[in-house]
Amino acid sequence: MIEVECECGRVIKTNDANAGKKARCPECGEVVEIPAPRKAGGKSPAPAVKGAATGPVKTTKKRTPSEDEYQGDDEELDDGEELPELPRSKKKSTGKGAKAKGGEGEESPKKKKKKEAADAELNKNILIGTGVVFGLAFLGLIGYGIASMGSVASAPKMEVPKEYVSYSSPNGELTCEGPKGWELKSGGGSGGTPPFLSLEQGSVKIQFRSSPSGSMMSTIMQPNGDDGKPIPDDEKPVSKIHEMQKERYVQEMSGYEEQGAPTMIKTGGGEGRLSAFTASEGLLSKTFGYRCTLVGNNNQWTVMCKCSANDWKDYQAVFRKVLESTRGT
């Protein structure tokens, strides 16, 4: 058995019959010449040839080669015929050829740098694209808000009404004095539908909604005893119902917030409870108004008077005049 070392560091083993032949290194692909085996106590009869291994040539007892070693065919090869290559070893070679070519399955430093640069550029482009999208969305939001504020500020103020006429629901469950010429919407009062009424002029609205259950609650909430002492205001049924109704509007209207404690208001049907509020309707626009609770014999009425911030100063008196004239059964 002849053992020869290639310049790349790979050791090739082949039969003695291949002495003087040429073989291709399975590691680096270079052609090496197989020298004659050394005889015991003597020198190798084959002269040194350029390209042949320069290390010592050893002879060993015949054994089964490992998977990292090369064993030539037992058949005689013609002069100049290359020995077939074995599959490359999975082990990393430490020879010069392995360093020059790079281990199989490993990327060269240049390729790694290129890949890292490409990944960095891709991440940079993704970040820039995301920033542009969010930036445009933010600018659009600001522009819409400015436009909304401008439209509110530039909208002409509603003309404060000077004449009032009588309005009522279809079956007369509710009557009130309201501004002349306003749009009237009313209905209900039969078929199990509670009566309702609304007066509207542009962005200014006065809406009456009834609930039969409120009147029954008023009866249940009547304080016990008759000792002649005045009933505290917060113990009166209308005050309790007014406070209970607040949560409903917190849920229905965005940014709903009441200003101060409720106050008592005298109406055509008795005492009511009144709360001033602010809310948000549309981007960057505020709604101002009154929420009023009235309790009749058959129905409990919730009245919502609202307008834009631009009209609130002029319409507070209009809303109070309508509420004070209201009579509900």
Domain ranges in the chain are: 1-104, 164-222+234-328
Per-residue confidence (pLDDT) for residue 34, from 0 to 100: 85
pLDDT tens, 240-285? 899 999 998 999 999 999 999 999 999 988 899 999 999 997 666 8
Per-residue confidence (pLDDT) for residue 40, from 0 to 100: 55
pLDDT tens, 167-202? 999 889 999 999 999 999 999 888 888 899 999 999
Nearest 5 degrees, angle CA 235-CA 237-CA 242?
Answer: 100
Q: Which residues pair with 183 in a beta bridge?
A: 200
Tell me the two tokens of residue 253: 């209207």
Average pLDDT over residues 146-169: 71
Does the model's pTM come out above 0.85?
Answer: no
Of residues 120 and 63, the one with the higher pLDDT is 120
The helix, strand and coil proportions of the chain, stated in percent and rounded to the nearest 5, come to: 30, 25, 45
CATH code of the domain made up of 164-222+234-328: 3.40.1000.10
Q: How far apart are CA 150 and CA 124, in angstroms?
A: 38
pLDDT band at 59 (very low <50, low <70, confident <90, very high): very low
Mean residue pLDDT across the chain = 76
Q: How far apart are CA 253 and CA 265, in angstroms?
A: 24
Q: How far apart are CA 202 and CA 182, in angstroms?
A: 9
Tell me the two tokens of residue 81: 């015929």
Top mean-pLDDT range of 62-66, 106-110, 309-313 = 309-313
pLDDT band at 313 (very low <50, low <70, confident <90, very high): very high
